[in-house]
Amino acid sequence: MRKITKETVYAFENNEKFKKQNMVVNELGMYLHNHKIAEFVSRIRFEDGNKNINITLAGWNTNTTRERLNGLEGVRVTIKQGQTYLNGEKWNGDWITIIRN
């Protein structure tokens, strides 16, 4: 995992603002090139304990987008024979909720 991915994911998971190169994390989510690729389902996640997230490829099924998402707990995006998979299931890259305990 790249250093920028580790830093971005840390900021996202800990509700810290972050901006470096092509990544931004703020209270609304995680952004790659100004496209939101991840957000928490609950805005008050630190009060209600809900750590579930919504993710998307935002129309950009690139190595970088997949690598950033793969840094998140409970997310594994892969490509096999041109088909994208999320946690072993076919995925079209649209917004989807990842249930995390």
Query: What is the C-alpha to C-alpha distance for residues 50 and 7, in angstroms, rounded to an integer?
Result: 22
Q: What's the confidence (pLDDT) of residue 48?
A: 63
The number of distinct structural domains making up the chain is 1
Q: What's the confidence (pLDDT) of residue 42?
A: 79
Its sign, for the CA torsion 24, 20, 84, 77, is negative
Alpha-helix runs per DSSP H in 1-101: 3-13, 45-48, 63-70
Q: What does the DSSP 8-state code read for residue 82?
A: T
Q: pTM of the entire structure?
A: 0.92
Q: What's the confidence (pLDDT) of residue 89?
A: 98
Residue 51: which domain range? 3-98
| Regions in the chain scoring below 50 on pLDDT | none
